[in-house]
Amino acid sequence: MIRLQSVPPAAAVAAVFLLLMTATGADAEADRRVVRTRQGAVRGTAKQSYHGRHFLAFYNIPFAQPPVGPLRFRSPQPPVGWEHIRDATVPGPSCTQNSIFETLRPPIGNEDCLYLNVFTPEPKPAKLLPVMVWIHGGGFVEGSATWYEPGFLLDHDIVLVTTNYRVGLLGFLSTGDKNAPGNYGLKDQVAALRWVKENIEAFGGDPNSVTIFGESAGGASVHYLMLSPLAKGLFHRAISQSGVCTAPWAAPEPGLLDRARKVAAMVGCPTEPSAALVDCLRTVDDYTLIATEWSFFEWFISPPIPFRAAIEGEGEDSFLPKHPADLRPHTAVPWLTGVTIEEGYFISAPIITNKTMLNELKENSKKLLPISVPFHLLPQADLINDKIHDFYFSSGFSNDKITEFFSDSVFIWPATDAVSSYKDKAPVYFYLFSYKGKYSFTDLAGSEEVSGVAHAEDLLYLFSNNSYYVIPGERPAKDMEVVKAMTKLWTNFAKTGNPTPNDDLVHWPRVTSDTKLEYLEIGKKLEVKKGLLEERMEFWRSLPLGKVPQSKVLKQEL
């Protein structure tokens, strides 16, 4: 016989109360992880920031219908709702893609990929928090919303959104008419911003305080969104890191229909009329389609980005009615933009470390340099080519000069030129990132010949990890000082439109001069300077660059 021990009534009441409180607390936490969007409820998961702050992560939330079958090569369509609570605890796939450099890597991703992630410290705050929407880079060829860890940024009072968008051929193929007008990846970004406007308040975010930010192709996307009529009213501040849409690798090029016809021929589809071409391409396996992308490179990854933004002409669904150089911003918003000091390693490192490629460049530079930027389609390409050789390579093709050339032509000059044309419309803040920490993307080159502050280096101090370069363990104290400064500057800007509203870090002035550009150098310390790489930038200012001539766009039928 089991003897029951008697329990005093007061103790029994206390035990029951404690049990109820524990259950209530668990239920409250579980309920806190469920957020109701306009399409349906989603259940997130609890995470911790780099410094141990608790936040909630909601992954794989659809912001548009899957762009498959008849929706391939079409603008994104509004998402379909659901009745159950959707599991949002596991990251989703990237969009179907090749890798920019890893030619032997098989394709990855899924065509059903129009999902975004939301990270919030509190879905029901006393005051709504500023929202930052991250647009990944990857040359409009690769990338994913899930490749960037939010641990650093979620130490601050912001709501972070990261979004996928279609890339490569599936995101940008165009026949130059209504059958496949192009720009689907950029329109995906607009659809994501519309979702944010309609739903972010449920996650504790302020729909009236949205900052878009991105790097490389993501930075160029941000610049495009500043100009596109489709994005009007969807954001209030913008950050472009190492990328603007008027850069030669991001701006529209002619020959869209020829590229579409080449793809069609390679996969056994009719090459005309365009309606039949597109209808057939919609039936081809996505991995088979993107395998054709490699055929557009003549040397290395040149000419770069064969499938990119297209001029659509005027229309209700037109993302890009004119060349970006001819568009005025729909709303002049504060803009923070900048570059790293040795951007060019992104292109030069694979060349420098491959003796065959390096010799090919030296022996055939008059052809290979123009297609690498590219500037070979400009009316005065030959004159520009001669001047470039005189300025950079009169004493030979040293590793430093090759890197300088790609830094200036591909990233630094386009950024400063874009700032010059925008600075009188709204506040612009420019930075030069020069800090060399313990970890660097140049480490991936595996050569002592490549060491510097390369393209995308600033990302190592905004995101606690990324899939391009996974950093193990703790960061050094000095690196964490840079992390603290950068994330504060970026989130200050997201909150106020000014990266240094209180001057507690430094007073970062807005740009006012074309030739003596004011900028903040983010190095071992924060320093305000004037006159960015003046001799080199003056050289580019003197060249007859302009726009690549475009063929007529948006014909009715081809």
Kindly report the CATH number assigned to the domain that includes residue 325. 3.40.50.1820
Instruction: Report, as ranges of residue numbers, the positions in the chain whose pLDDT lies below 50.
Output: 1-7, 15-26, 552-558
Compute the residue count for the chain: 558
Give 27-82 as a DSSP string.
Answer: HHHHHHTEEE-SS-EEE-EEEE-TTS-EEEEEEEEESS----GGGTTS---PPPP-
Instruction: Please give the Cα distance from 155 to 119 (Å, whole number).
Output: 11
- Of 175, 490, 537, nearest to 334 (Cα)? 490
Q: How many domains does the chain have?
A: 1
- Cβ(521)–Cβ(396) below 8 Å: no
Amino acid letter, residue 366: K
Helices and strands of the chain, counted as H and E runs: 15, 16
Instruction: Tell me if 46 is assigned to some domain.
Output: yes
Instruction: Tell me if 12 is assigned to some domain.
Output: no
∠ CA 74-111-143, nearest 5°, is: 100
Q: Look up the pTM and report it.
A: 0.93
The pLDDT value recorded for residue 543 is 97
Catalytically active residues are 216, 343, 455
The pLDDT value recorded for residue 2 is 37
Instruction: Tell me if 238 is assigned to some domain.
Output: yes
- Cβ(307)–Cβ(169) below 8 Å: yes
Q: In whole angstroms, how large is the CA radius of gyration of the chain?
A: 25
What pLDDT, in 10s, does the model give residues 194-212?
999 999 999 999 999 999 9
Instruction: Tell me if 457 is assigned to some domain.
Output: yes
The pLDDT value recorded for residue 531 is 97
The pLDDT value recorded for residue 211 is 99
- Of 45, 38, 36, 28, nearest to 150 (Cα)? 45
Instruction: Tell me if 303 is assigned to some domain.
Output: yes
Instruction: Tell me if 4 is assigned to some domain.
Output: no
| Domain containing residue 366 | 31-541
Instruction: Tell me if 60 is assigned to some domain.
Output: yes
Instruction: Please give the Cα distance from 74 to 79 (Å, whole number).
Output: 14
Instruction: Tell me if 522 is assigned to some domain.
Output: yes
